[in-house]
Structure 1
Amino acid sequence: MSKKDMNLQEKFIELLTNIDFPENEIIKNWLDLDKAYSKKSRHYHNLTHIQDMIYSYEKYSDQLQFPNEVLYAIFYHDYIYVSSKKDNELKSAEYAIKILPKDANLNSKMVFDTIVATQLHQHNDNEDINWLIDFDLKILARDWDDYKIYFEQIRKEYRIYPDFLYKPGRANALKHFLENEFIFQTNEFRNLYEEKARANIEKEISLLT
């Protein structure tokens, strides 16, 4: 187990302990999570992505009203990920709620809503959900070399599709971000990352068309 995975495991165990998971279920749930995110088909939506989101979470956790709900949602938001399916977020949310103990110290509705919100990445009345959406999309504002690695990883996850299908589909998904008034939902992330994310997206679109 790498140091990164060890840190994730410790964070996961601490969270599930704090929200009153039975001790005998905690390690089992970690092993299930690790297995799900470590599938060979996952080139981007893996534990590295979860780790990146948790870095942001730890930096901005003092902005959150419901930090445990947000952290739990981070761990499970891509638990189900099949590139040919359109209901991954819904299935992930359903799973995350299903495994919660009946007396868990967690707002299950908020967890469900937070995970589902990662499908469309649109502004939410709940500011905690907006923070998680921004944690999820921060990759869009990386330096170009890192951003290029990201979209190459996404292409590998969609390798079942030939270029003539993938390229216009990816371009349309990216254009959707540009059509919104903002990509990021919090003022903090807009000020820090909006301009860079838009430049990266425009450059990737130019390579796809």
Structure 2
Amino acid sequence: MKGPDRSDLPREEATLLAESWSHLAGTGAEARAVGEELLDRWSEEHRRYHTLSHLWSALCAVEVLREEAHDVDAVRYAVWFHDAVYEGRPGQDEDESAALAERLLSLMGQDPERIAEVVRLVGVTKDHRPGPRDADGAVLSDADLSTLAAGPEEYLAYTGAVRAEYRHVPDEAFRAGRLGVLRSLLEAPNIFHTPFGRTHWEPRARSNMLAEIDHLSRGGTEAPPPP
């Protein structure tokens, strides 16, 4: 069966993703097959934000935070798998992504302890609230949420893409759900859990999210104007 079309991904980015997977997982037949499956999943037509671009962005953020991780390769694997199943079903998508990670990493012959850690890390992305001593969970969570600290135009594109993924949801229901997510993140002591994230990403993320909350509270749905 022919996989999803990845022709719209910039060639350089597609090449870098393939190289990133090969460097992480090796070049054996099983690893190559799993890499292709993951790239196909991240290329599904219904995705608008949880795409190959988000995957690459999160992997790049992990590299920024790598010195703060305990097992950075486990974090990298968790990035590849954390939204491998994405149907817009909070909680269920993460559970199915974790199950996929367990199955495919087992087929690749990964160490059981590494597999268990990747499965656990994928679960952390349900609420992005790792424990205080969970270094790998902190790095994964911060990498996944790093888009929240984007510049005005990138944040605008992000919120528009999120709305497009939930285009089947009526405006009022989307607005209520999105406000709930944003307020939950802002109610926590910190959005980011690594020292780097709290220092360099937290202020901008809070500014972006507060602007979006204001926009949504006024009846907007697509995206807030750049702050």
Same fold (TM over 0.5): yes
Question: Structure 1 residues 75-84 or 105-114, which shifts more?
Answer: 105-114
1:140 is matched with 148
Choose the corresponding residue for 1:110, options 111, 117, 131. 117
Q: 2:80 aligns with which of 75, 81, 99?
A: 75
How far the C-alpha of 1:84 sits from its partner, in A, is 4.0
- CA-based RMSD: 1.6
Tell me the alpha carbon deviations over residues 146-190 of structure 1, each in whole angstroms, 9 at most, x when there is no partner.
111101000000001010111111111111111111111112111
Q: Does the Cα contact within 8 Å between 2:124 and 2:137 map onto a contact in 1?
A: yes
**What is the identity percentage for the equivalent residue pairs of Structure 1 and Structure 2?**
28
Aligned residue number for residue 213 of structure 2 = 205
Whether 1:120 and 2:124 are equivalent positions in the alignment is no
Is the contact made by 2:68 and 2:135 (CA closer than 8 Å) also made in structure 1? no
Structure 2 segments unaligned to the other structure (5+ residues): 1-6, 218-227
**Over residues 53-83 of structure 1, what are the superposed CA-to-partner deviations in whole Å (9 max), with x where a residue is unaligned?**
1112222323322111111111111000011
Q: Who is 2:15 aligned against?
A: 6
Query: Where does the alignment leave 5 or more consecutive residues of structure 1 unmatched?
Result: none
The 1-side partners of 2:121 and 2:76 are apart by 10
1:123 corresponds to which letter in structure 2?
A: P
Over 4 Å off, 4+ runs: none
Distance 2:37 2:115 in 1: 20
> Using the alignment, how far apart are the partners of 1:63 and 1:178 within structure 2?
23
Name the counterpart of 1:163: 171
Task: Indicate the SS of the match to 1:107.
Answer: helix
- The one-letter code matched in structure 2 to 1:53 is A
2:192 match: secondary structure: coil
1:130 is aligned, of 132, 135, 138, to 138
* Partner amino acid, structure 2, of 1:35: D
CA deviation map 1:82-135 (0-9, x unaligned): 114541111101100111237424611211111110110013231111011000
Q: Does 1:35 align with 2:40?
A: yes
Which amino acid in structure 1 is aligned with residue 62 of structure 2? Y
Which amino acid is the alignment partner of residue 71 of structure 2? F
Name the aligned partner's letter for residue 20 of structure 2: K
Give distance in 2, aligned partners of 1:35 and 1:54.
17
**Structure 1 counterpart of 2:58:** 53
- Report the TM-score, using the length of structure 2 for normalisation: 0.85
In structure 1, distance between residues paired with 2:106 and 2:53: 27
Distance of 1:171 and 1:101 partners within structure 2: 38
Could you say which residue in structure 1 is the equivalent of 2:184? Answer: 176
Kindly report which structure 2 residues correspond to 1:89-104, keeping only aligned pairs within 5 A, or say none.
89-101=94-106, 103-104=109-110
